[in-house]
Each structure stands twice: as C-alpha cells, then as structure tokens.
Amino acid sequence: MKNKRKFSKSHYDYLKKYRTKKILILLTQIIILVAFLLLWELLTKYEIISSFFFSSPSKIAETIGEMFRSGELIYHSKITLYETLIGFAIATGIGFIVAFILWYSDFLRRVLEPYLVVLNSLPKIALGPIIIIWFGAGSKAIIFMCILIVIIVTIMNIMNSFVGCDKQLIALSKSLGANKFQIFFKLILPNSLKDIVATLKINVGLSWIGAIMGEYLVSKAGLGYLLIYGGQVFNLNLVMTSTVILCVLACVMYFAVALFEKLMNKYYHS
C-alpha cells in the first residue's frame, strides 16, 4: 500500500481472502512434505518397507551429520558444486556470445543452423569415451561434459529469442537511425530478458545433469561419485543422502537465478 488511501471494506475483504489463500497454499505444501517424511520414517521403522532398500529420513539425517563431521560432506559437495558452477558459467557465457553472433550475422546463422540441430539431438553422453581420452579422468572432463550439455540449448534458446524480436519495434528503431548495437542493447536484450532468465533456469538443471553425468563417467570424488559408489556397495543410505544434498544445492542455485531475475526486472522495468 504505497499511498495511504482509504479503501472500501470490500477491498480489505479481498486482501484478506488473498492472504488467506496464500497462507493456505504454503501450509498445504509444508503438510505434504512433513506427511511424506513421516510416512517414510514410520514405514521403514516398522519394516513395512525395507529400511535397507529405502533408507529413512532419520538415517539420512544421521549420515549427513556424520559426513559433515568427517568433512566428507563439504569435500564432495564442493567438488561437484565447483564443476557445476564452472560448467554453467562457461556454457551460459559462451552460449550467449554465440547467440549474439548468430543474431548479428544472418549468413552465419543460416550456415550453422543444421549443425546446431544435429548437435542438439545428439545424446552428449555418447561422447563420454572421447572426452575421457581428450581431457583425462578428472574435473576437466566433467566440466567439459557439463558445458557440452548446457551450451547447445543455451545457444538455440537465446538465439531464437533474439531473432524473434518484434519486427515493428526494429523498424521503429531503424527509422530513428539506430545501428545494430543500439538495436541490440536497447531493444533485443531487454526484450529477451524473460527468455534469457528462463534459459538460465533450464541451465541450472542441465548443468547439474552434466556434472553428475561426468562424475558417473570418470570421477574419484564428488556427489556423483558418491552415488555410483553407494550403488555399487549397496549402501543405499549413502545414495539417498547424496540425492538429498543434490536437491538442496540445486534449489539454492535455482533461487539465486530467481533473485537475479528480480534484480534484472527492477533494472529494466522503469
């Protein structure tokens, strides 16, 4: 309520209804989570389902505590987080620049289009063996796998958004004598902001996929390594724990992007 105007009673009723609904939604979300955890805990406690195969919330919490004390939690999370973030940043950055170049040059865009389409439909995991040979069995290979998975989608999404800008707005800018860089920074970029943020959100998910997939292939450490290792020694408790940690990290990264979106909107919407 920026201006302290008096509103009618019906407006306050409306606000009240709105808030009640909001609270109700949040409450239901929490109840579902708690109920799920509780059910899981009880079912495994009384061995209705096997706690060996399904682990249990308390066991997972215990394992997280143990791993935290031994430093393993930080160690493995750090490695995977590092790979994901580097992969995400490089792929998004280069993807953005390539999208810009392809928007700028109609010739290049038409030349490269079929290559992009083929690269996009190729399952990147198929390149695993080549990547290992080129980059060795270490972080480099994992980051490369991550970049490979993220970059093509980034290029295609952002380029399509750039190219899809309203032709009439471009005509207006041209009638004002705008050059291509002015058109890009004053028109194309703010116009594509929504799509860019949407691409970033997709990239969060994809870069985690890339990093974990890379770790499945080659790693000696990281959350993906823990998942594979846990699976191989039938320590499902470790597998579940790693999954939970992954969930939390991916969530944090997603919210960071959402925050970025808010800041950008503030900057451009005035």
Partner 1 sequence: MNELVEIKNLNLIYQSIDSETTALQDINLTISNQEFIAIVGPSGCGKTTILSIIAGLLKASSGSVMVAKKTPNPKDNLCGYMFQRDNLLPWRNIEKNIYFGLEIKHLNTKERKDYALFLAEKYGLKDFLKKHPSELSGGMRQRVALIRTLALKPELLLLDEPFSALDYQTRLELCDHIFDIIKKEKKTAILVTHDIQEAISMADRIVVLTSRPGTIKAIHETKFPTTMTPFERRKTDKAKKLFDIIWQEIQNEKQKKI
Binding pattern to partner 1, positions 112-151, x when CB under 8 A? ----------------------------------------
Q: What's the burial of 111, exposed, middle or buried (CB within 10 Å: 0-12/13-18/19+)? A: exposed
Q: Which of residues 169-198 bind partner 1 (CB under 8 A)?
A: 169, 171-178, 182, 186-187, 190-191, 193
Centre a 10 Å sphere on the Cβ of residue 263 and count the other Cβ atoms it contains. 9
Instruction: Tell me how far, at minimum, the Cβ of 36 lies from partner 1, in Å.
Output: 41
Instruction: Tell me how far, at minimum, the Cβ of 1 lies from partner 1, in Å.
Output: 17
Instruction: Tell me how far, at minimum, the Cβ of 243 lies from partner 1, in Å.
Output: 40
Rounded Cα distance between 153 and 150, Å, is 6
Toward partner 1, which CB reaches closer, 11 or 174? Answer: 174
Binding pattern to partner 1, positions 153-172, x when CB under 8 A? ---------------xx-xx
Asked if residues 250 and 202 have their Cβ atoms less than 8 Å apart, the reply is no
- 109 dihedral zone (left: phi>0; alpha: psi -120 to 50; beta): alpha
* Binding stretches for partner 1 (CB under 8 A): 168-169, 171-178, 182, 186-187, 190-191, 193, 268-270
